[in-house]
A and B are shown apart, each in its own frame.
Chain A
Amino acid sequence: MSELDLARWQFGITTVYHFLFVPLTLGLSLLVAGMQTAWMVKKDPDYLRMTKFFGTLFLINFAVGVVTGIVQEFQFGMNWSAYSRFVGDIFGAPLAMEGLLAFFAESTFLGLWIFGWGRLSPRVHLATIWLAAIGSNLSAYFILAANSWMQHPVGYKINPVTHRAQLTSIWKVLTNSTVLAALPHVFFAGLVTAGVFIVAASGWHLARRSGKSVRDTELFRRAMRLGLVVTLVGGVATAVTGDVQARLMDSQQPMKMAAAEALYNTASPASFSLFTVGSLSGGNEVWSVRVPYLLSLIATLNPNGTVQGINNVERAYAKKYGPGDYKPYVPVTYWSFRLMTGFGTLAALFSLAGLWLTRRRRIPQSRWFYGAAIAAVATPYLANTMGWIFTEMGRQPWTVFGVLQTSQSVSPGVSAGTVLTSMIVFTLLYGVLGAVAGWLMIRSIKAGLPPGEPGTPAAGTGEPVPVFTY
């Protein structure tokens, strides 16, 4: 394998892995802040128990998200130095802003939240978890602005002397239509991930409610309802924002849209493929199951609209950019897109069923439901992963669409052996950490709710017993 292939595999592995933990952080930080707010407002101690239960799980997840994130910032320089030199004038700015505006807030306020119970006044302490949650979601904005520039470069010019891309408008980069669509999509996907997670954890306990107090059962019922509502609302919003993104993609990266649909030749109207088997050469399809007019409708809001095909776009790009292969790997692009939407839809459908089964304070009796609730936790993780694989693989062969190709982006001085070393190290290390984190989370879920009245003043000291510690 060449250093380019290895660098791509490593970037894919580390990014997918990082994004296993990020969406839960994005969504659960907000929901835990909400639970603590409910405690403050309603003064019901069960909300504090809920905060602590889900807060513990949140912190285990957060730790892995943070450490895998450091690698991401370093990796651009380590493995993609040619890319960094070329785009740094533009790309570096959102990353620096992410650190200064978002990471500092996220990390500092989370430290205050973990250790600040009883030290800070309740209102100030509540503010810390909200600020940490906002910091996390703000960091998503900046990194998406950077990625969106790769998908749809704006606000730049190529300097004829240095032959590097140069920023001409930071405002255009920060308000790129691509990021304005991507951010809510990722934000709501984070909520779906957190919602499904809460449903699964609550479901595990409700399945065992016969041994529980009425109070604890009611707590998990409420948590489950919260998770189901968040999943449904988030799921619908993710779909709607995804639809907006599809239309942008149609105009900004027509090849990606064509590959996502395995649409080999331009069609108007264009049918939507539910299932396509393509030829090995990648030039045509062999067999498909399709819905007429639907692709035109999705891409152009007009059932007879024209959607460009892979082969047509390829010819146009060859004219524009010179001879070359401008097709992404169609099977991965096609299937990742489908699996993303499929798993996302499953999550939303499950939540719909769950909301029906838990209507009017009902607690579902069926073991199947609880089994499904736990299994369903996989759906947003799969959808999130497929989403990133789709958008990154679909952009190939470009790192910056229409401007810089991936093959021109890799670090020239780093050997294949070196990259192989780091790839193996990261893969093994991440594998171990992921397994440990997962095990700790399951253990924490099984340990159940904290006892009755934590956070009350310890007799004699006038200070509450700490809620979280190291």
Chain B
Amino acid sequence: MSLSLVVFYLLGAVCLGGAVGVVVSRNVVHSALLLLVSLMGVAGLYLLLLAEFLALVQVLIYGGAITIIVLFVIMLTRVQEFRAMKDNPQWPLAVVAALAMFVLLAAAMIKGAPSETTRQSVSFEELGSSLFTQWAVPFEVASLVLLVALIGAIVIAREGGEE
């Protein structure tokens, strides 16, 4: 077993362990912190796949920004009232959704399995040049999507704040 495979399993264990912890934990804030652990594991997996920039983006956006948002949302909902929450009536739906997702991902993985020998990194420069020439339109669309997200957030916040 090569070293990178060992690292892969370790990181996979971190991701899965964190994710299971998120679901199992009785305390929502603990769940949020375990989510952070899981997301860091994903960043490690990106590194293993030679996607350096993506890994750092994962740390910056998910590790930093998204975790803070999640913590804020939890604190917005007054955690102490949900401390002993044991069950959620929607769990059958969640099981179906999770299974569907699993089947979809598994199928995609089997169909498009990358060969192990042709592993190569896309340099940061190549990433930039393809993003700004070949993928120029999606790039601009992304900025519009972010604009919409921003405006949406502000509109919702105003409705919430002025009742």
A and B are interacting partners: no
